[in-house]
Each structure stands twice: as C-alpha cells, then as structure tokens.
Structure 1
Amino acid sequence: MSVPLYQAKADFFRMLGNPVRIRVLELLQDGPMPVRGLLAAISVEPSSLSQHLAALRRSGIVRSSREGSTVVYTLAGGDVTDLMMAARRILTEVLAGQNELLAELRESEAAAR
C-alpha cells in the first residue's frame, strides 16, 4: 500500500524538524564536510550527531563517503539548497509581517496615551 503524497511530505518535514539537522544542511550547502568538521561547528555529542546524520542519509538528502578513516557528508542534490533558501525567504516575509504588526501595536499604544 503506497503512502499518499501529502503524508510523505509531512513525514519529510517532520524529519527536518530538528535544529541539528537544519544546521547540518546549512553547513553542507558550502560543500562536503567531514564529520569532525560538523562536530566542531555544531557542538553536539558525537552519538547525537551520528543519529541525525543517519536520519538525513535514510531520507536521501545527504550522502556519505569514506576517505581513508574520514567520513565525509555532502548534500544529495541542489534541491536541498533551494529548499533551505526558500525557507529563509518565507521566514523573512513572516518576520517582516510580525515587525509591521509590532510597529502598528506600538503606534496605537502611543496614540492611546
């Protein structure tokens, strides 16, 4: 039995719903990175990072390769970068709207005095 597309999308976004995973994706936008580099940049326990990397790998949005004893991670495709940029644009619009609302509230509060 196949999963409806909307369910697959919800599962995908749920998998992304962790700050460590988002940070990994942000870091990998700049190019391949070894696990030790990710650990230094994110400051989480190695076992925790390993679990997050495994989830990202299972989802197919990151790939790993071994270079000697070093495991290097990379984004599986450019669509991930596009997704991260789209999220930034959406957040910028949302926050701009919140700032406009805050300004209106402050103006009405000042006018009420």
Structure 2
Amino acid sequence: MSRPLYQVKAEFFKNLGHPARIRVLELLSEREHSVAEMLPEVGIEAANLSQQLAVLRRAGLVTTRKEGSNVFYSLTSPHVAELLAVARRILTGVITGQMELLEDLRTPAAAAPRGRARKQS
C-alpha cells in the first residue's frame, strides 16, 4: 500500500529540517565538496557532519564519489539548488512584508482619520 503524496512530501521537508543540512546543500549547490572542505563552512564536529550527510544520502539528495582517501559529495539533482533559491525568495518576500508592517507600526498616530481617536492595541 503506497503512502499519500503529502506524507512523502512531509518526510522530504523533514529531511531538510536541520540548519547543518541546509548549509551542506547550499555549499553543494555551488560545486562538489569533500567532507574536509565542508567542515569549516558548516561549523559542526566531523561526527555530526557525517550523520547529517548520511541523512541527506538516505533521502536521495546527495551522492558520493571517492577519489583516493577523499570522499566528495554532490547534489543528485540541480532541482535541490533551485528549491533552496525559491525558499530564499519566499523568505525575502515574507521578511520584506514584515519590515513594511513594522514601518507602518512606527508611523505616528497622526495618520488616523480626523475627528476620531485612533484605536490603540
């Protein structure tokens, strides 16, 4: 019996739900990286990075290539990089909207219609 698509999507996004995993995917959006190259950029212990990479591998988001004693990681699909770019655009829009709301809140009460007191929250 197959699972509903919304459950599969939820699991997919759950796999993205860790800051270190997002940072790894951002790095791999640029080019392939070895673990040694990612360590200082991700800012976590090697064992923790290994665990996060394993999650991304199991999710089918990254693949590996071995060269000598080095293991290089890359994205399995350019769509992963596109997803991160779309998320950035969404967040930019959300934050821009919040900044506009904050600016509206900072506007003096003089902007209230004449003859009525402005309701305070």
TM range (shorter): over 0.9
TM-score by length of 2: 0.88
TM-score by length of 1: 0.94
- % of aligned pairs identical? 53
Query: Which one has the largest radius of gyration?
Result: 2
Q: Tell me, in whole angstroms, the C-alpha distance in 2 between the residues paired with 1:99 and 1:89.
A: 15
Q: Tell me, in whole angstroms, the C-alpha distance in 1 between the residues paired with 2:85 and 2:97.
A: 19
For the aligned residues, what is the CA RMSD? Answer: 0.9
> 2:56 aligns to what?
56
> 2:105 aligns to what?
105
Once the two structures are superposed, residues 5-60 of structure 1 have per-residue CA deviations (whole angstroms, 9 ceiling, x without a partner) of 00000011111011000000000111000000011211211110001000001111
More helix by share: 1
Runs of 4+ in 1 over 4 A off after TM superposition: none
Q: How does 1:1-113 map to 2 (within 5 A)?
A: 1-107=1-107, 110-111=108-109
Gaps of 5+ in 1: none
Count of residues paired in the alignment = 110
